[in-house]
Amino acid sequence: MNNTNFKEDSIFTSGNIKSVIFDLDDTLFETGEYYKTNMLLIAEHVSKLLEDNTPNIAEKIYEQGVVIHKEVGHPMLLDNLMKAAITRIYGDNLSKEEKIDSYLKKEVELFYQQTPKLKSGTLPVLDMVNTLGITIGIHSHSQHEWTERKVKYIQDSFKERYGREISILLHSTPLEGKKDKEGWGEALRNFSFDPNTTLIVGDNLRDDILPAQANGVKYLVLINNSIYSSNAVLKGDGNILRISDIEELLTL
């Protein structure tokens, strides 16, 4: 049964928006928390392997991982990120390095076989957009197989909750690539979306909103709930709507 409630005078019911592209991680999924939880568990296990009883050592390894991620400026596979963080803490000549590498490989395989939790407003927002006949696309900066797994999880969860299928188009920028103007232009072309009638929703100003704006996208929503929501100069962003969570789309 469809229990969708939305404003009759919302930006979605105006008829101007024909398609929506959502960023995936930390927009529709609690990806940051998923990373943090698993990085801390991995760091704690590695510190025990190295017989390091330093107080809060797992948190220190995790924090180095966050720093490295910011320095690199694009997503990294979790095993590479954790190895870099561990090396930064302990140096290049790791004892038990072979055992650590084997452990990281096993844990990371499990990590990518699962998905983060959906944001609480994800399914209601998708239900509203779908009910209004607006085409849905997702543009993710991640390895394609994991992106496909997350989209499949959304579709399965949606069907379980609402009793119907939902079509979601998918475009992923490879890890080694940039989610920049070219990447967003490619997504728009692949989906055959008109920038003048497309809404872009993301949590990253630099990687989601400004590149979409540079492609002529008129409708832009930035979710101010992550460390990346204000990571660029705010020049020329006057038409960007800012919300605190995906669920607020129901009230626009």
- Classify the C-alpha dihedral 114-35-174-104 as positive or negative: negative
Residue 195 one-letter amino acid:
P
Q: Other CB atoms closer than 10 Å to residue 240's CB: what's the count? A: 17
What tokens does 176 get? 């080694």
pLDDT at res. 75: 85
The 10s digit of each residue's pLDDT in 154-168 is 999 999 999 999 999
Q: pLDDT tens-digit profile of 66-92?
A: 999 989 878 899 999 999 999 999 998
At 194, list the tokens. Answer: 């008109």
- The SS3 assignment for 141 reads strand
Helices of type H across 114-143: 122-131
Task: Tell me the three state secondary structure of residue 149.
Answer: helix
Is 60 exceeded by the pLDDT of residue 227?
no
CA distance 124 to 223: 16
Cα–Cα distance, 69 to 66 (Å, whole number): 5
Q: Which of 108, 61, 99 is nearest to 80 (CA)?
A: 108
* Residue 35: band (very low, low, confident or very high) from pLDDT cuts 50, 70, 90: very high
Higher pLDDT, 103 or 14: 103
- Provide the residue type at 226 as one letter: S
Count the Cβ atoms, other than its own, within 10 Å of residue 128.
21
d(C-alpha 78, C-alpha 39), whole Å: 8
> How does pLDDT run across 174-208, given as a tens digit for each residue?
888 888 999 999 999 999 999 999 999 999 998 99
Determine the 3-state secondary structure of 183 from DSSP: helix
Q: What is the dihedral of CA 121, 147, 211, 238, to 10 degrees?
A: 0
